[in-house]
Amino acid sequence: MAMKIGFIGTGIMGKSMASHLMAGGHSVQIYNRSRDKAEELLARGATWFETPASLAAASDVIITIIGYPKDVEAIYLGPDGILQNAKKGCITIDMTTSSPELAKQIAVIGQERGIACLDAPVSGGDIGARDAALSIMVGGDASAYECVLPLFRLMGKTIALLGPAGAGQHTKLCNQIVIASTIMGVCEGLIYAKTAGLDPLAVLDVIGAGAAGGVQLKVQGPRMIKGDFAPGFMLEHFVKDIGLAIAEADRMGLKLPGLAQAKKLYDILMQQGHERTGYHALFELYLRKEVT
């Protein structure tokens, strides 16, 4: 059944995700801080709303994929935000990587207002969004999840309800923890190959077919070798995610030394002004021998 879907956040990934919902026959209504990033969707028939409040009031389902936890808090809990203005019976889906505790808070306030709030961060970057092949990690009410599962299937391939509110965010932080150490391993393997006088692309082909194979090696490895650091997922957002994971680990009394080292290296890149490059630009530090 076609739904009126409010979509907030039409950036690198959000634009493709909203496009898939439109192709699935749904009416997509858009709010974005920069209208120019929504123009392609508007030209294809999406409807523009001037404020999150007006969009929320006119939507059956509201999907957000924005920047930082502070943005999520403002757009959900602010006086002109989603929960103050959405209809009773509406379902909200925050696909931003954000704080598990904030996701729980939003769910509690939503429940008080008759609104089901899911946290459903994604993994797969720009390519996964473009190909409708995202991994979608969901926390929240099971009946609300079942209701919007057809929407998730338009955007992703691997979709799972992991538990109550906050579980989706915790799962995404697990994902980022694994990537953080893996991407360091890819950088170190490639810089070793280069320094040893090997053809790095040939090395990638061989080791990618063995036990070292994986998405980071196969997708980001060739980009590193070519010096293509265009963002499929921006470094500043990855650093934000690492910070969230470290904060949650500290709260649970966990020590994650690989994650701490990744944060240290990425902070150097941030200080050098690379925040809007791809997170695989970490290879630059290895090339310049600035790794400590």
- Final residue of a structural domain among 149, 164, 179: 164
pLDDT at residue 157 in the model: 97
Question: Is 172 tagged catalytic?
Answer: yes
Q: What is the CATH number of the domain that holds 215?
A: 1.10.1040.10
Q: How many domains does the chain have?
A: 2
Cα distance between residue 44 and residue 62, in whole Å:
19
Query: What value does the mean pLDDT of the chain take?
Result: 96
Give the chain as a 3 state SS string.
CCCEEEEECCCCCHHHHHHHHHHCCCEEEEECCCHHHHHHHHHCCCEECCCHHHHHHCCCEEEECCCCHHHHHHHHHCCCCHHHHCCCCCEEEECCCCCHHHHHHHHHHHHHCCCEEEECCEECHHHHHHCCCEEEEEECCHHHHHHHHHHHHHHEEEEEEEECCCHHHHHHHHHHHHHHHHHHHHHHHHHHHHHCCCCHHHHHHHHHCCCCCCHHHHHHHHHHHHCCCCCCCEHHHHHHHHHHHHHHHHHCCCCCHHHHHHHHHHHHHHHCCCCCCEHHHHHHHHHCCCCC
Q: Distance of alpha carbon 32 from its chain centroid, rounded?
A: 17
Residues 198, 136 share a domain: no
Domain assignment present for residue 231? The answer is yes
Domain termination site, one of 110, 132, 164: 164
Categorize the per-residue pLDDT at 1 as very low, low, confident or very high, splitting at 50, 70 and 90: confident
Please determine, for residue 151, whether its predicted confidence score (pLDDT) is greater than 90. yes
Q: What is the mean pLDDT of residues 232-252?
A: 94
Dihedral sign (CA 6, 12, 13, 17): positive
Rounded Cα–Cα distance for residues 149 and 47 (Å): 23
Band of pLDDT at residue 125, cut at 50, 70 and 90: confident
pLDDT at 232 over 90: no
Domain identity same for 102 and 17? yes
Neighbours of 101 (CB within 10 A): 16
Q: Report the CATH number that the domain containing residue 80 is assigned in CATH.
A: 3.40.50.720
Same-domain status, 196 and 119: no
- Please identify, among 114, 146, 164, the residue that sits at the C-terminal boundary of a domain: 164
> Same domain for 89 and 223?
no
pLDDT bucket at 150, cuts 50 / 70 / 90: very high
* Structural domain containing residue 75: 4-164
Tell me what the mean pLDDT of segment 7-11 comes to: 95
Same-domain check for residues 16 and 104: yes
pTM score, whole prediction: 0.94
Do 152 and 239 lie in one domain? The reply is no
Same domain, 116 and 158: yes
202 lies in the same domain as 243:
yes
Together in a domain, 247 and 127: no
- Cα–Cα distance for residue pair 263/276, rounded to 1 Å: 16
The answer to whether residue 270 is domain-embedded is: yes
Q: Which residues, 6+ apart, have CB-to-CB distance to 102 below 8 Å? A: 69, 72, 73
pLDDT of 66-114, one tens digit each?
989 999 999 999 999 999 999 999 999 999 999 999 999 999 999 999 9
**β-bridge partners, 138:** 161
Name the pLDDT band for 133 (thresholds 50, 70, 90): very high
Q: How confident is the model at residue 12 (pLDDT cuts 50, 70, 90)?
A: confident
Q: What pLDDT shows up at residue 51? A: 95
For 38, the token pair is 């929504």
Q: Point out the catalytic residue in the list 4, 172, 226, 289.
A: 172
Our measurement of the distance from residue 250's CA atom to the centroid of its chain's CA atoms, rounded to an integer in Å, reads 22
Q: Average pLDDT in the 135-147 region?
A: 98
Each residue of 157-211: pLDDT tens digit?
999 999 999 999 999 999 999 999 999 999 999 999 999 999 999 999 999 999 9
23 and 86 in a common domain: yes
Q: Do 134 and 191 have their domain in common?
A: no
- With respect to residue 292, please indicate whether it lies within any of the assigned structural domains: no
Q: What is the pLDDT of residue 211?
A: 96
131 pLDDT exceeds 90? Answer: yes
Instruction: Give domain status of residue 125, yes or no.
Output: yes
Tell me, yes or no, whether 37 and 175 share the same domain. no
Is-contact 230 206, C-beta < 8 A?
no
pLDDT for residue 233: 86
Nearest partner of 285 among 190, 176, 175, judged by Cα: 190
